[in-house]
């Protein structure tokens, strides 16, 4: 089995002072309005990525020390740029373009990489291409934003939803593929092969790397 992971998962790990529960990363349920909580998975995923880049690449964004208050501060800041439409943020292009605008506003130079899985099966990349993409991202210590438009038969994944991939474990022949994602303050294990074979609408993947100013 081949295993790849971001280098510092514990950067996302913290203890909520009220509930004393261990939390991993960000949760869209922390947003203040109903609409934000309903549609905020995209900006929440973007906030997670910017937070991680802040701690591993020394870029300047809000929410340096992780807590619910600081997370929400960054989430609200990112929301102003990564703003859902009535259909949320249903494409990787909408996502990475919005993140780039936010980064530029902070004086951060980012490069994006994406891999789309279209609705039409004939147009989809081969599984090994997807694995190469995810392997490259995690090798470069970059969390991956994962857009899932249809979860297919993978019940541990919500449809029409953005999450963050932090690790992958797969066989070289692609017959077994599992990822760990951050979603709703938890680490969840997902059968990516099952998703790939059964999703009806597809989705996509995006990661970012920092460039010199």
Which pLDDT tens digit goes with each residue over 32-80?
Answer: 999 999 999 999 999 999 999 988 876 554 445 677 888 899 999 999 9
Question: Please, which pLDDT band fits residue 182 given cuts at 50, 70 and 90?
Answer: very high
- Which pLDDT value is given to residue 13? 87
Q: Give me the pLDDT at residue 174, please.
A: 85
Q: What local confidence, expressed as pLDDT, does residue 62 receive?
A: 45
Helix (H/G/I), strand (E/B), else coil: 96: helix
Provide the pLDDT for residue 41: 97
pLDDT at 46: 97
Total H helices, total E strands in the chain: 6, 9
Residue 139: the pLDDT is 96
CA 208-40-196 angle, 5° bins: 60
pLDDT of 11 strictly over 90: no
Name the least confident of 10-14, 133-137, 165-169: 10-14
DSSP 112-176: EEEEEE-SSGGGSPPHHHHHHHHHHHHHTT--EEEEES--TT-TTS-SSEEEEEEEEEE-TTSS-
Q: What is the average per-residue pLDDT within 104-132?
A: 95
Question: Among positive and negative, which fits the CA dihedral 147, 149, 155, 158?
Answer: positive
- Give pLDDT, residue 123: 95
Phi-psi region of 174 (alpha: psi -120 to 50; beta: other; left: phi over 0): left
83-110 residue pLDDT tens: 999 999 999 999 999 999 999 999 889 9
Task: Flag whether pLDDT at 16 surpasses 70.
Answer: yes
Q: What is the pLDDT of residues 171-180, one digit of tens each?
A: 988 899 999 9
């Amino acid at each position: 089995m081949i295993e790849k992971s971001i280098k510092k998962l514990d950067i996302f790990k913290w203890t909520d002072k009220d509930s004393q529960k261990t939390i991993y990363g960000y949760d869209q349920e922390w947003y203040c309005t109903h609409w934000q909580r309903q549609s905020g998975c995209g900006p929440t995923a973007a906030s997670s990525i910017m937070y991680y880049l802040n701690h591993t690449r020394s870029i300047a964004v809000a929410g340096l020390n992780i807590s619910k208050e600081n997370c929400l501060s960054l989430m609200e800041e990112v929301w102003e740029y990564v703003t859902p439409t009535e259909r949320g943020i249903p494409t990787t292009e909408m996502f990475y373009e919005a993140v780039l605008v936010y980064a530029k506003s902070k004086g951060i130079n980012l490069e994006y990489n994406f891999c789309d899985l279209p609705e039409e099966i004939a147009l989809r990349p081969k599984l090994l291409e997807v694995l190469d993409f995810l392997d490259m991202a995690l090798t470069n210590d970059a969390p991956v934003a994962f857009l899932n438009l249809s979860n297919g038969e993978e019940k541990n994944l919500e449809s029409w939803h953005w999450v963050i991939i932090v690790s992958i474990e797969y066989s070289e022949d692609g017959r077994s593929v599992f990822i760990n994602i951050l979603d709703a303050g938890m680490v969840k294990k997902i059968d990516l092969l099952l998703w790939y074979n059964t999703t009806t609408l597809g989705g996509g993947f995006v990661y970012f790397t920092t460039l010199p100013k």
